[in-house]
């Protein structure tokens, strides 16, 4: 097959035609035919667009695959997914054959959410896995990502695939990969990602999609796997406190059906739902980005919560692996807690639970998350681990009893799943709010108590979305070549550059600035979106809890303003 990255002129059209001829999807085949015709007739816009589709392949890495739907190797489509499935099958077969005690055959469970073509990509994967000789189990219907992560361990399979783009825009889809066995159901990391990618590249170079063996001899899981997930998750609920009024949104995703069953089994009152966002809808019509962190994404939730006088808003992202919560302020407005705030409160809760049971273990968070969890671990004499960004690293920490990352990802039950789980985290947080209500307290009271016990920790994040990815590299180069000596008048003590690796961490495009006054700034490119991300943290242990909160918040606000100016 033509080297797509170097295809120009007639070879570009030849590569596109070869892709077109093996595409089983009439929609993307027609799309590509239109672009080929435009290029053949000299239409510059069509030629440019065709070039974008074939200038590269979507890279298979530690996030699997994720990209915009459309025709060509630089988009998500049935050809690309078929090549990925066949390559992954070859990897599983190779690993099984090399095992000292090989299984009868390797196995995989496949799940999917409600995005465009998720069900199609999932069935293609099951058929191609079965055709290659891998035992394949397809989940019974669209379900949340945590159910798939649970199913990998529940069935004891070699691997799992979840077809989802999580909280990405509506035009995207993705392919998230998990490994069983020694990996315990965690997402893939190096070197497995590169090994799988090499098999995928070989399949793409040597085989046409029509020639890949397929079989409908795959299994479809029954409801028992969902029932088991619901039962295990509901068991996380603490003894009943006081009923609270909760508003829930699924953000047009697949979370509600399973979450509602979990809430009921746990003994909680049924939440009030955000009606316009509760049914799966791949168009995500009420939000620009179906991400609870994005401005405006929770506006309908706030309106519903105000209308019913709610005590709490719970939001899952479209595949329900993330959780956002919001609480009412004294002035009647709504305040979404940051991922760090939720992570710290759940971490404190986990530490209390472990110590009460005379247990031990490790609390863990990604390096861009707040230092607050480490302080909790120190006071409760538990182990603590920093990890690279990405939950695939948090989930692999030895002895893990609780882990989180600031991007709304929490793992409160590592024995059940080895990935972030927005539904189990919702149960744990709802239990906390219920217990607080029984004592006549609020989440704000608990935050104040945290500041008094551990110190106040505040954080903020800047996300610079770009259209040209080279802009991110230029900004990172600028910070390396001319690093600031002060930020918001606070001296930069030293900088950790992860470019060549740092401590136990492998090389990465990360800069970490340590400032006086217990402040920290981390800058890195996003791993899943065209963004430069900046993480700002500050803390205070001086004065009362309220004074500590105010001081830390003031430092964060000053640093936020200074960094926006610096990166403009």
* Residue pair 174/166 in contact by the 8 Å Cβ criterion: yes
Quote the pLDDT of residue 108: 98
Q: What is the DSSP letter of 61?
A: B
β-strand partners of 163: 112
Listed as ranges, residues in the chain with pLDDT below 70 are 1-10, 528
Q: 241-454: which CATH architecture?
A: 3-Layer(aba) Sandwich (3.40)
76-222 CATH pick, 2.60.120.10, 3.90.1150.180, 3.40.50.300, 3.40.120.10? 3.40.120.10
Distances (CA, A) of 272 to 126, 279, 299, 307, 313: 37, 14, 15, 11, 9
Quote the pLDDT of residue 6: 44
Where are the domains positioned within the chain? 1-56, 76-222, 241-454, 455-567
Q: Under CATH, what is the fold of the domain 455-567?
A: TATA-Binding Protein (3.30.310)
Task: Give the active site residues.
Answer: 166
* Residue pair 151/221 in contact by the 8 Å Cβ criterion: yes
Distance CA 392, CA 395 (A): 5
Count Cβ atoms below 10 Å from residue 37 Cβ, excluding itself. Answer: 12
Please check whether the two domains, 241-454 and 455-567, share a CATH topology.
no
pTM value? 0.93
Query: Edge-to-edge, what's the strand order for the sheet holding 272-273?
Result: 272-273, 246-249, 312-316, 323-328, 334-336
């Amino acid at each position: 097959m033509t080297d797509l990255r170097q295809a120009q002129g007639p070879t570009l059209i030849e590569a596109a035609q070869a892709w077109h001829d093996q595409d089983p999807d009439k929609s993307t085949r027609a799309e590509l035919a239109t672009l080929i015709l435009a290029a053949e007739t000299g239409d510059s816009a069509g030629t440019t667009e065709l070039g974008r589709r074939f200038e590269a392949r979507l890279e298979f890495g530690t996030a699997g695959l994720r990209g915009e739907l459309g025709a060509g190797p630089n988009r998500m489509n049935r050809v690309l997914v078929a090549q990925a499935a066949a390559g992954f099958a070859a990897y599983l077969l190779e690993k099984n054959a090399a095992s000292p005690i090989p299984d009868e055959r390797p196995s995989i469970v496949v799940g999917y959410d409600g995005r465009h073509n998720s069900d199609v990509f999932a069935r293609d994967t099951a058929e191609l896995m079965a055709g290659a000789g891998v035992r394949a189990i397809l989940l019974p219907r669209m379900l949340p990502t945590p159910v798939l992560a649970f199913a990998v361990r529940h069935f004891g399979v070699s691997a799992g695939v979840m077809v989802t783009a999580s909280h990405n825009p509506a035009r995207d889809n993705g392919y998230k990969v998990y490994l069983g066995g020694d990996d315990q159901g965690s997402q893939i990391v190096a070197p497995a990602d590169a090994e799988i990618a090499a098999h995928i590249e070989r399949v793409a170079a040597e085989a046409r999609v029509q020639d890949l063996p397929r079989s409908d001899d795959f299994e479809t899981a029954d409801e028992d796997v969902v029932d088991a997930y619901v039962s295990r998750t509901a068991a996380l609920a603490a003894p009943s406190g006081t009923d609270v009024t909760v508003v829930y949104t699924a953000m047009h995703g697949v979370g509600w059906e399973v979450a509602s069953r979990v809430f009921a089994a746990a003994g909680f009152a049924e939440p009030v739902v955000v009606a316009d966002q509760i049914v799966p809808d791949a168009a995500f019509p009420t939000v620009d980005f179906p991400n609870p962190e994005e401005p405006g994404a929770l506006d309908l939730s706030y309106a519903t919560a105000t209308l019913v006088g709610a005590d709490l808003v719970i939001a899952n992202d479209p595949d329900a692996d993330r959780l956002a919560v919001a609480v009412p302020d004294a002035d009647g407005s709504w305040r979404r807690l940051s991922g760090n705030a939720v992570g710290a409160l759940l971490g404190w809760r986990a530490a209390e639970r472990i110590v009460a049971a005379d247990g031990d273990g490790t609390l863990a968070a990604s390096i861009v998350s707040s230092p607050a969890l480490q302080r909790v671990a120190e006071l409760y004499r538990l182990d603590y681990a920093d990890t690279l960004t990405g939950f695939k690293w948090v989930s692999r920490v030895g002895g893990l009893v609780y882990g989180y990352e600031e991007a709304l990802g929490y793992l409160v039950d590592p024995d059940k799943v080895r990935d972030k789980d927005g539904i189990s985290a919702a149960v744990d947080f709802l239990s906390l709010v219920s217990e607080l209500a029984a004592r006549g307290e609020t989440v704000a009271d608990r935050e104040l108590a945290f500041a008094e016990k551990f110190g106040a920790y505040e954080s903020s994040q800047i996300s610079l979305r770009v259209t040209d990815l080279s802009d991110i590299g230029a900004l990172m180069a600028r910070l390396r070549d001319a690093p600031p000596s002060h930020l918001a008048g606070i001296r930069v003590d030293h900088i950790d550059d992860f470019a060549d690796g740092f401590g136990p961490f492998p090389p990465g495009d990360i800069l970490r600035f340590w400032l006086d006054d217990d402040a920290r700034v981390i800058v890195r490119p996003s791993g899943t979106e065209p963004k430069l991300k900046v993480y700002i943290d500050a803390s205070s242990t001086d004065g009362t809890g309220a004074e500590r909160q105010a001081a830390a918040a003031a430092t964060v606000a000053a640093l936020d303003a200074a960094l926006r100016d610096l990166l403009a």
